[in-house]
Amino acid sequence: MQAIVFDPPGAVTLAPLLRDVAEPTAGPGHVLVRVHRAGLNFADLMMRHGVYPHPKGYPLVAGLELSGVVEVCGEGVTGYVPGDRVAGFSEDAGGFATFCAVPEERLIRLPDAMSFDVGAAFYIQSLTAWHLLHTVSKTQAGDTLLIHAIGGGVGLQLAQLAKIAEAVVIGTVGTAGKEVLALALGSDRVVNRGIEDFVSVCNEMTLGRGVDKVIDSTGATILDRSFDCIRRLGHVVSYGEAEGKPLPNLWERLVQKSLTFTRLHIGHLDNRSAEWRQGIDAVVGAIMAGTLQVPIAGSYDLKDAEAMFAALESRQTAGKLILRITD
Using an 8 Å Cβ cutoff, are 151 and 171 in contact? yes
Q: Whats the size of the chain, residue-wise? A: 327
- Closest-CA residue to 93 (of 81, 106, 75, 77): 106
How many Å apart are CA 103 and CA 89, to the nearest integer?
Answer: 9
Q: What are the start-end ranges of the E strands in 122-175?
A: 144-147, 168-173
How many Å apart are CA 91 and CA 124, to the nearest integer?
Answer: 11
In a domain, 202, yes or no: yes
Residues 103 and 144 in one domain: no
Tens digit of each residue's pLDDT (9 = 90 or more) over 155-184: 999 999 999 999 999 999 999 999 999 999
Residues 259 and 289 in one domain: no
The per-residue pLDDT for 14 is 63
How many Å apart are CA 196 and CA 172, to the nearest integer?
Answer: 10
In a domain, 131, yes or no: no
Residues 10 and 88 in one domain: yes
Which residues lie across from 102 on neighbouring strands? Answer: 31
The per-residue pLDDT for 263 is 96
In a domain, 309, yes or no: yes
In a domain, 275, yes or no: yes
Residues 70 and 17 in one domain: yes
Q: What are the start-end ranges of the E strands in the chain?
A: 2-6, 18-20, 30-40, 60-61, 65-73, 85-89, 99-103, 107-109, 144-147, 168-173, 189-192, 211-216, 230-238, 260-263, 296-301, 320-324
Residues 29 and 147 in one domain: no
Residues 172 and 252 in one domain: yes
In a domain, 34, yes or no: yes
- Closest-CA residue to 324 (of 85, 84, 121, 125): 121
Last residue of a domain, one of 244, 263, 282: 263
User: 127 to each of 107, 108, 264, how far by Cα in Å?
Assistant: 13, 11, 12
Using an 8 Å Cβ cutoff, are 102 and 31 in contact? yes
pTM for this entry: 0.92
Domain count, the chain: 2
Low-confidence stretches of the chain (pLDDT beneath 70): 14
Residues 115 and 221 in one domain: no
In a domain, 130, yes or no: no
Residues 6 and 68 in one domain: yes
Which residues lie across from 169 on neighbouring strands? Answer: 145
Last residue of a domain, one of 223, 241, 263: 263
The per-residue pLDDT for 289 is 97
Q: Kindly report the number of other CB atoms within 10 A of residue 170's CB atom.
A: 24
The per-residue pLDDT for 156 is 96
The CATH number of the domain where 103 resides is what? 3.90.180.10
Last residue of a domain, one of 263, 287, 307: 263
Using an 8 Å Cβ cutoff, are 40 and 321 in contact? yes
User: Domain limits at 190?
Assistant: 137-263
Residues 20 and 64 in one domain: yes
Residues 147 and 259 in one domain: yes
Residues 182 and 147 in one domain: yes
**Phi and psi of 156, rounded to 5°?**
-65, -35
Residues 88 and 25 in one domain: yes
The CATH number of the domain where 240 resides is what? 3.40.50.720
Kindly state the DSSP code that residue 268 receives in the 8-state scheme. Answer: G
In a domain, 245, yes or no: yes
